[in-house]
Amino acid sequence: MQDRSDQVKAATKTSKTGILTASFVGCKHPFVRSTKSINTPFVGLNRPNASFRAAGFTTVELLVTIAIAAILLTLAVPSMRTLIQNMRITSQANDLISDINFARSEAIRRSANVTICQSTDSTAASPTCSTAGTDWKIGRIIFIDSNSDGQHASTEELLRIREPLDGNNTLTSAANLVVYARTGATTAGAKIDFSLCDTRGAASGRNISIEATGRALITKPPAGC
C-alpha cells in the first residue's frame, strides 16, 4: 500500500504557477502524432492522371504553324498590293471629277470664269499655272480668272489646290488648262480628255472626259497608259 501511495504522490504535482499537473498513468496515455508523412496507396479514383502532359507546342507543331502562316502571307501580299493600287487610282480619279464639278459650279454661282490649270508650285503662297507640257501629275490649282488670261495673279481668288499625285501614277491631257465660263460650259468648245494611269497599264487606267457642255464623266481606260 505504501508503494501505491508513493506512486500517486509522484504522479500528482503542483507546478510553480499553481496548476495541478499529472503524469499519465496506466492506459491513459496521450495520442502522439508523428511528424513524418505516411505514404498510403491510391484507392479507388484517388489516383494521379497518367495521361497528363505539359501545355504548349512541340517544335514540330511550331514549325508547321510557321510554314502555314508563311504560305498564307505569300498569297495575301499580291492581293493587298492590288487592293491598294485600285483604291489609289480610284481616289485620284474621284478627286479630278470633284475638282471639275467644283470649278463648273463656282463659275455658274459667281457668274465668272473659273480656270483649272496644272501647277508645279500648287502649295506656294501665290501659285502659278504651268503652260509647258501636258503632265498634270505635278499638281493643279483652281481660281477665279478675272481677266480670262489663263494665269493666276496674286489678286485673283484661289479656290482650291491639289498636290502632286502619289504612287508613281500619271495624269496627262492634251490641254494644259480648263476654263469654265459663267454658263457652265468650257471655253474650249470641244471635249477634253484626261488619262490617269498606274504601273499596271491601260487595263487599270481611268479616262476622264469633259464634254463641251462642261459635264465630266469616266469612260473606258485610255489606250495610252
The predicted pLDDT at position 159 comes to 98
Q: What are the Cα distances from residue 25, in Å, to 9, 19, 139?
A: 12, 18, 113
Tens digit of pLDDT per residue, the chain (225 long)? 555 555 545 544 544 544 445 455 555 555 555 555 555 554 555 555 555 555 677 887 788 888 888 887 777 667 788 899 999 999 999 999 999 999 999 999 999 999 999 999 999 999 999 987 789 999 999 999 999 999 999 999 999 999 999 888 999 999 999 999 999 999 998 999 999 999 988 888 999 999 999 999 998 777 777
The three-class DSSP label of residue 64 is: helix
Task: Name residues whose C-beta falls within 8 Å of residue 57's C-beta, 6 or more positions apart in sequence.
Answer: 65
The predicted pLDDT at position 26 comes to 53
pTM of the model: 0.66
The predicted pLDDT at position 19 comes to 47
Tell which residue, 165, 170, 166, has the closest CA to residue 195.
Answer: 170
The predicted pLDDT at position 164 comes to 95
The predicted pLDDT at position 121 comes to 94
Query: From CA 134, how far away is CA 105, in angstroms rounded?
Result: 25
Query: From CA 21, how far away is CA 55, in angstroms rounded?
Result: 59
What domains can be seen in the chain, in order of their start residue?
Answer: 78-219 (3.55.40.10)
The predicted pLDDT at position 65 comes to 83
Query: From CA 211, how far away is CA 102, in angstroms rounded?
Result: 15
